[in-house]
Chain A
Amino acid sequence: MSAFLTILGRDLRLAGRTGGDALTLVLFFVMAGAIMPFAIGPDRVLLQQLAPGIIWLAAFLSMLLGLDRLFRADEDDGTLLLFRHAGLPLEAIVFAKLVAHWLLTALPLLIASPLLAVLLSMDTPIWGRTALALLIGTPALTAFGTIGAAVTVSLRRGGLLAPVLILPLSIPVLIFGAASVGAPEGSSAAILFLAAISLVSVAFCPFAAALALRVGSE
């Protein structure tokens, strides 16, 4: 357990020292959402209707943006090779990195989402439900992203491939994420389904990603 926390802590500490990355993602998130009114037009009612979907899309896109960093640095400096013979299984290491990646890429977006809500003139209750859906749904996005990053890390120029790989996988998350915001009062089916997708994908991801890392290094 302490080894697990050490890896998690190291990733957070490295991100803190390298700095800027989390902030860049948040800026991208806010800007991607904020340019939507320019494309759709300044129709306040329409914007309010679209706002949850816009926030979901912006969050999804900015999480894709950060994917390549997940294993790239460890691959480049040889740490990934050493992880193969670490004191804990590669699956546990991948899980630690998944948790760290969620904390570094998804959590900042959640924290920044009120800003985007104001820019898109969202009502507070709607924002609350969107944020809840993001909180529950983003672990699944991170899990799919981890698999994509693991598959493409052995490709030198795999940076763009991972998003393309995981985009189709992520469609259910978007569907149920957006549905849970628009669901009628008292209906919790969509959010429960979103939670199920997240739990299942996070549980399976470490095994799939570790397998991909093992095969990829051959």
Chain B
Amino acid sequence: MTEPNALLSVENLALSRGGRALFANIGFTLGAGGLLLLRGPNGAGKSSLLLTLAGVLRAEAGRIDWHAEEPPKLHIVGHQSGVKTRLTLAENLSFWRAVNGPSGVSPEAALDIVGLGAIGGLDAGYLSAGQTKRLALARLLVTDRPIWLLDEPSASLDAAGDALIARLIADRLASGGAVIAATHDDIPGATETLMLGTPK
């Protein structure tokens, strides 16, 4: 069952929120280079599943096995951006770079990659929703972590932003990482799709 290079195995995972069963019997294996798309209608539990994988919510039943290390080294991008509005874009990135450990990418380079290079000195509070999302994605670049959990990464992004996400994910997968994304859009390169049902 377990692949030799598996990063994550999930078996029989069940979760309920507020006394209501969200999902049960979720199981998948994700190897290096794997992209798992979580799909399903609003309220199906996509975000909750991501939070469970991140260790924030406690699963009701089942097993989550991060083969490589415990706790796993992962990035999570949620609905809230984690961006401090009173810090400049570059300061926001420098902060996370200092806290989580630097990768080879400097904050300036990361801003260039997500298309915000020209306004690195601006307070993040002036950004639009889409630009804030891009800044949140730039955080993934300044610290190198193999696993990304993305919650609707393309929400509020334009067409170029969608392409940016596809490119970032492809880069991550090519370097031996793994990505789990909850999305309503199509992200190319998906190795597996998990359909979460309608809430009962």
Which residues of A are interface residues toward B (Cβ below 8 A)?
2-3, 6-7, 10, 13-14, 17-18, 76-79, 81-82, 84-88, 217-218
Across the A-B interface, the 5 shortest Cβ-Cβ residue pairs: A78-B80, A6-B98, A87-B100, A78-B82, A17-B86
Cβ-defined contact, B82 with A81, below 8 A: yes
Closest CB in chain A relative to B178 CB, distance in Å: 15
Interface stretch, picked from B6-14, B23-31, B52-60, B108-116, is B52-60
Chain A residues with CB below 8 A from B99, complex form = 3, 6-7, 86-88
Closest CB in chain A relative to B102 CB, distance in Å: 10
Cβ-defined contact, A81 with B86, below 8 A: no
Contact of B167 with A by CB under 8 A: no
Cβ-defined contact, B56 with A13, below 8 A: no
Closest CB in chain A relative to B173 CB, distance in Å: 20
Closest CB in chain A relative to B153 CB, distance in Å: 14
Interface stretch, picked from B61-69, B70-78, B155-163, B189-197, is B70-78
Contact of B87 among A2, A13, A88 (CB under 8 A): A13
Cβ-defined contact, A77 with B56, below 8 A: no
Q: Give the docked Cα–Cα distance between A81 and B80 (Å).
A: 9
Chain A residues with CB below 8 A from B100, complex form = 3, 86-87
Q: Give the docked Cα–Cα distance between A78 and B151 (Å).
A: 13
Contact of B56 among A3, A7, A10, A218 (CB under 8 A): A218
Closest to B147 in A: A85
Closest to B55 in A: A84
Chain B residues with CB below 8 A from A87, complex form = 99-101, 143
Closest CB in chain B relative to A72 CB, distance in Å: 13
Cβ-defined contact, B143 with A82, below 8 A: no
Cβ-defined contact, A81 with B98, below 8 A: no
Q: Give the docked Cα–Cα distance between A84 and B55 (Å).
A: 9
Cβ-defined contact, B54 with A14, below 8 A: no
Q: Give the docked Cα–Cα distance between A160 and B168 (Å).
A: 44
Q: List 5 A-B contacts (CB under 8 A).
A: A7-B99, A77-B82, A82-B82, A84-B55, A85-B76
Listed residue (B71, B79, B98) with the most chain A CB atoms within 10 angstroms of its CB: B98
Contact of B95 with A by CB under 8 A: yes
Q: When A85-B74, A86-B100, A87-B101 are in contact, do A10 and B86 touch as well, CB less than 8 Å? A: no
Contact of B106 with A by CB under 8 A: no
Q: Give the docked Cα–Cα distance between A77 and B79 (Å).
A: 9
Closest CB in chain B relative to A217 CB, distance in Å: 5
Q: Give the docked Cα–Cα distance between A7 and B54 (Å).
A: 22
Cβ-defined contact, B80 with A76, below 8 A: yes
Chain A residues with CB below 8 A from B84, complex form = 10, 14, 77, 79
Cβ-defined contact, A84 with B143, below 8 A: no
Closest CB in chain A relative to B158 CB, distance in Å: 22
Q: Give the docked Cα–Cα distance between A77 and B58 (Å).
A: 22
Q: Give the docked Cα–Cα distance between A137 and B85 (Å).
A: 34
Closest to A215 in B: B58
Chain B residues with CB below 8 A from A88, complex form = 99
Contact of B166 with A by CB under 8 A: no
Chain B residues with CB below 8 A from A76, complex form = 80
Q: Give the docked Cα–Cα distance between A77 and B87 (Å).
A: 13
Contact of B80 among A3, A13, A77, A218 (CB under 8 A): A77
Q: When A81-B56, A85-B54 are in contact, do A18 and B78 touch as well, CB less than 8 Å? A: no
Closest to A4 in B: B99
Cβ-defined contact, B80 with A84, below 8 A: no
Contact of B122 with A by CB under 8 A: no
Closest CB in chain A relative to B182 CB, distance in Å: 15
Cβ-defined contact, A2 with B98, below 8 A: yes
10 additional contacts (CB under 8 A) given A17-B87, A78-B80, A81-B82: A6-B98, A77-B80, A77-B81, A77-B85, A81-B54, A82-B76, A82-B96, A84-B55, A85-B71, A85-B73
